[in-house]
Amino acid sequence: MEKTQKKKSSLNIIPRAKHSISRKYISKNALKVLYRLNKAGYEAYLVGGSVRDILLDKKPKDFDITTNATPEQMRKLFRNCRLVGRRFRLARVIFRSEVIEVATFRGSNLIFKSNKKLDNYIIGHNGMILRDNIFGSIEEDAQRRDFSINSLYYNIADFSVRDYTGGIKDLHKGTIRLIGDPEISYREDPLRILRAIRFAAKLDMTISYETAEPICQLAILLHNIAPARLFEETIKLLHGGYGEATYYLLRKYNLFQLLFPLVSSNLTEHGDSYVELMIIRALYNIDQQLRKNIRVNPAFLFAAILWYPLLENTKKLIYERNISYIDAFSLAIHNIFDKKFQILAIPKRLTLLIREIWQLQLSMKQCYNKLIINHKFYAAYYFLNLRAKIEKNTELHKISKWWKNYIALQQDQKNNYNIYI
């Protein structure tokens, strides 16, 4: 880890001739919003991940804009505008094929220390910001952002890039660095812990010493995040095309077992348990699919992560209750998705498919040709294949080969399903 110095960077303006951002890399809808704000007399900047990605020669996923116009002023300016968010009030300018999010400059949160009761700024007892609608200047906004590499502003007025926090230098060094005091920053928004991991894996960068140092101590703060939000962030971590690299970083900072407590007893020093081998192999395969722009259903990954804890629970139930394997297996599935064992809220649409992948593992052992070949079958078949390779199980290999031959005989059917859909 690279050690960084605690110091505020002064404003660095990079003129158009000295950076690689061109309007041809920016969506037409984002440009429309920028130009209209600018024409109406407001400051308007492209900010965050899109600026960072273009400077790194990557294609941005979305385009966020920041301005000194208030949400109400933006609603008057754009007929296709909707104001959303209570915690962070912002405007969404809605186009046919794209939604552009526009936020007003955030003001300094030091105002909270004045002990005034503010309806538009609320902080919890644990330091987490619950509502943040204090508006301010671009200088204040820059200091309120999470990482220096996400605090770069592309000015539509003169096409320059404004850097208030040393983000350009960190981009060149390949450093993920929090703005301000890391402990305060993590307490304000614990999800920044996971974002530091995600950006480091995604961008192949190093987390600075001061940014990394508090992670293990403050990871418990993630329990304060709503399970649905934590699930969304976990999908971004493990299902973005760089899941395997992310997994190793999560393990390094003892975060994976926090997100998936059911696997904690199976994590080893050398990473060679069935659970770990299954997770690594599944993430590798999914990364390869996503990089080919092939759609992947997250249910396959969660089925892989939780499979061996499911088998352990099944054996435990058979021993404790003296019930059949089928009954124990069904009850174990119910237990796995019990909310008290989860920090993540896995949506029902996924748990239903996960259940089917698991239940088909039992059906496939019988090797009878009554199963319907559809997307669920293919997911279960490749899951069976994965198990055979992980366990080096001769019986599973034979079963997998039988189904492979069975599939080959069904050439009259459409067998080009995506295996993970």
> Quick one: pLDDT band at residue 126, thresholds 50, 70, 90?
low
285, burial (CB in 10 Å: exposed 0-12, middle 13-18, buried 19+): buried
Which sequence positions are flagged as catalytic? 62, 64, 146
* Span 21-61, pLDDT tens digits: 999 999 999 999 999 999 999 999 999 999 999 999 999 99
Which residues touch 183 (CB under 8 Å, ≥6 apart)?
Answer: 214, 218
**DSSP string computed for 402-416:** HHHHHHHTTTTS---
* Span 231-257, pLDDT tens digits: 999 999 999 999 999 999 999 999 999
**DSSP string computed for 38-66:** HHTT--EEEETHHHHHHHTT---S--EEE
Residues 102-107, mean pLDDT to the nearest whole number: 92
Residues 81-104, mean pLDDT to the nearest whole number: 91
Q: Is the pLDDT of residue 347 over 90?
A: yes
Q: Is the pTM of this model over 0.85?
A: yes
Q: Give the architecture-level CATH label for domain 11-173.
A: 2-Layer Sandwich (3.30)
The domain spans of the chain are 11-173, 183-224, 261-413
CATH code given to domain 261-413: 1.10.3090.10
Cα distances from 128 to residues 183, 185, 188, in angstroms, run: 11, 9, 4
Q: Helix 243-252 to helix 227-238 angle, to the nearest 10 degrees?
A: 120
CA atoms within a 13 Å half-sphere pointing along the CA-CB vector of 198: 18
The pLDDT value recorded for residue 41 is 97
* Span 299-334, pLDDT tens digits: 999 999 999 999 999 999 999 999 999 999 999 999
> Quick one: pLDDT band at residue 408, thresholds 50, 70, 90?
confident
* Span 200-225, pLDDT tens digits: 999 999 999 999 999 999 999 999 99
The pLDDT value recorded for residue 413 is 52
Beta bridge partners of residue 99, listed in sequence order: 94
Helix extents (H) in 88-189: 138-144, 167-173, 182-188
Asked whether the beta carbons of 49 and 62 are under 8 A apart, the reply is yes
Which residues touch 252 (CB under 8 Å, ≥6 apart)?
Answer: none
Mean residue pLDDT across the chain: 89
